[in-house]
């Protein structure tokens, strides 16, 4: 199934930090979103100056972006979790 974010939203796959080693960690803290993710899809009005409310951005599919830790909504597509967030919530990207 293809998911296309609407408007000025992007779909991001969170980068999960996993802790391994000799230290016992509670199951609740083993995986924690670090506030980073990989852009999977761009909304239909991003980079479309003719669209109403369209936004021009320097973010492209495949970029690693930084965001606030609890920004966006989690959606499941084909059994995998993604985060849908507004492009204005992107703090920056790795260059």
3-state SS, the chain, equals CCCCCCCCEEEEEEEEEECCCCCCCCHHHCEEEEEEEEEEEECCCECCCCCCCCECCCCCCCCEEEECCCCCEEEEECCEEEEEEEHHHEEEECC
Q: What is the per-residue pLDDT across 29-48, written as a single tens digit (0 to 9) for each? A: 444 556 899 999 998 888 77
What pTM does this model have? Answer: 0.76
pLDDT value at residue 49: 66
């Amino acid at each position: 199934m293809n998911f296309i974010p609407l408007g000025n939203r992007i779909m991001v796959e969170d980068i999960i930090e996993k802790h391994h080693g000799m230290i016992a960690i509670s199951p609740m803290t083993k995986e924690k979103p670090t506030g980073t993710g990989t852009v999977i899809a761009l909304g239909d009005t991003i980079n479309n100056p003719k669209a109403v409310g369209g936004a021009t951005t320097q973010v492209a599919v495949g970029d690693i972006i930084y965001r606030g830790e609890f920004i966006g909504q989690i959606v499941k597509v084909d059994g995998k979790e993604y985060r849908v967030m507004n492009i204005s919530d992107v703090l920056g990207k790795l260059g």
